[in-house]
């Protein structure tokens, strides 16, 4: 959703997420968190096994 407004004497276009857009963003953020957790589980053993310099 977008609208034109005047701010500081200039015309600007403002964007806002719709309720459906907010739901979609929340769903994608949840999926990303799950993906990141899976990758972290894969990498953690390998990273802790590296010798210290």
Structure tokens at 33: 């968190």
Burial category of 13 from C-beta neighbours within 10 Å (exposed 0-12, middle 13-18, buried 19 and up): exposed
31 domain residue, yes or no: yes
- Answer whether 0.75 is exceeded by the pTM: no
pLDDT at 51 over 90: no
Domain range for 26 is 2-39
Q: How far apart are CA 48 and CA 42, in angstroms?
A: 11
Question: Quick check: is 53 in a domain?
Answer: no
Tell me if 47 is assigned to some domain: no
When divided into structural domains, the chain yields a total of 1
26 in any annotated domain: yes
Q: What is the pLDDT of residues 8-46, one digit of tens each?
A: 888 999 899 999 999 999 999 999 999 999 999 998 887
Residue 7: predicted pLDDT: 82
- Percentage, residues of the chain above pLDDT 70: 96
The reply to whether 46 falls in a domain is: no
Q: What's the rounded Cα separation, in Å, for the pair 53 and 25?
A: 42
Please check whether residue 18 lies inside any domain of the structure.
Answer: yes
């Amino acid at each position: 959703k977008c609208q034109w407004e005047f701010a500081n004497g200039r015309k600007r276009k403002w964007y806002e997420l719709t309720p459906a857009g907010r739901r979609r963003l929340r769903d994608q953020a949840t999926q990303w968190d799950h993906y990141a957790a899976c990758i972290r589980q894969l990498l953690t053993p390998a990273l802790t096994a590296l010798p210290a310099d």
